[in-house]
């Protein structure tokens, strides 16, 4: 059996209105986890969510993200950025070399609060669940300017995503400040 070598800039690329995702290693290649390189644009917030079965690992390569992975004392939508854990943990501004591991059942989120894109390595177990999620969300986002919240919710239900706060994308450009990819679920 051979391994997999993927040069920089290579891999299957999916581009949505809110993220650029490059598949690096997939379940079909024998990967123990799906591995992606993700470019997170300014203003993108994945929203707080939880997986009952999946595990995830995030590693910041370039740029900065706000990250959290803990059970908050109180879940007060819509802003997870204000949450705090019982022992005082709060979301963290994370730069290159920072990582976040998320076990099953742990609420978590990331956002790019800066004005420049952030690049991260993202691994998800078990494969190929997140591979299919990314493929299907591209289809939903490509259907037009209006996002069908029912289709998004069905997608989340299929792929073990319990959304706690809204996923949204509000670019920092004042001309685009009112454009959002999705609000609520």
What's residue 179's pLDDT?
Answer: 42
Q: Tell how many helices (H) and how many strands (E) occur in the chain.
A: 2, 13
What's residue 144's pLDDT?
Answer: 67
Closest alpha carbon to 68 in 133, 157, 164:
164
Longest Cα–Cα distance of the chain, Å, equals 52
pLDDT band of residue 173 (cuts 50, 70, 90) is low
Enter the pTM of the model: 0.88
How far from 84 is each of 4, 74, 88, CA to CA, in Å? 40, 8, 6
Q: Which tens digit of pLDDT belongs to each residue from 70-95?
A: 999 999 888 999 999 999 999 999 99
Average pLDDT value over all residues in the chain: 89
Q: Which tens digit of pLDDT belongs to each residue from 95-136?
A: 999 999 999 999 999 999 999 999 999 999 999 999 999 999
| DSSP letter assigned to residue 131 | H
């Amino acid at each position: 059996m051979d391994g997999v070598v993927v040069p920089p800039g290579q891999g299957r690329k999916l581009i949505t209105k809110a993220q650029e995702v490059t598949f690096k290693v997939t379940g079909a290649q024998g990967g123990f986890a799906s591995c992606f390189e993700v470019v997170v644009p300014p203003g993108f917030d994945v929203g707080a969510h939880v997986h009952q079965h999946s595990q995830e690992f995030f590693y910041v390569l370039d740029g900065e993200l706000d990250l959290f992975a803990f059970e908050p004392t109180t879940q007060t939508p819509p802003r997870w950025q204000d949450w705090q854990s019982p022992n005082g943990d709060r979301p963290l501004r994370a730069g290159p070399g920072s990582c976040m591991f998320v076990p099953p059942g742990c609420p978590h989120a990331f956002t790019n609060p800066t004005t420049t894109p952030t690049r991260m390595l993202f691994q998800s177990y078990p494969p190929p669940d997140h591979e299919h999620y990314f493929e299907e969300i591209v289809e939903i986002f490509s259907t037009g300017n209006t996002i069908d919240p029912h289709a998004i919710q069905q997608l989340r239900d299929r792929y073990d995503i319990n959304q706690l706060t809204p996923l949204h994308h509000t670019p920092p450009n004042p001309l685009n400040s009112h454009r959002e990819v999705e609000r609520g679920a």
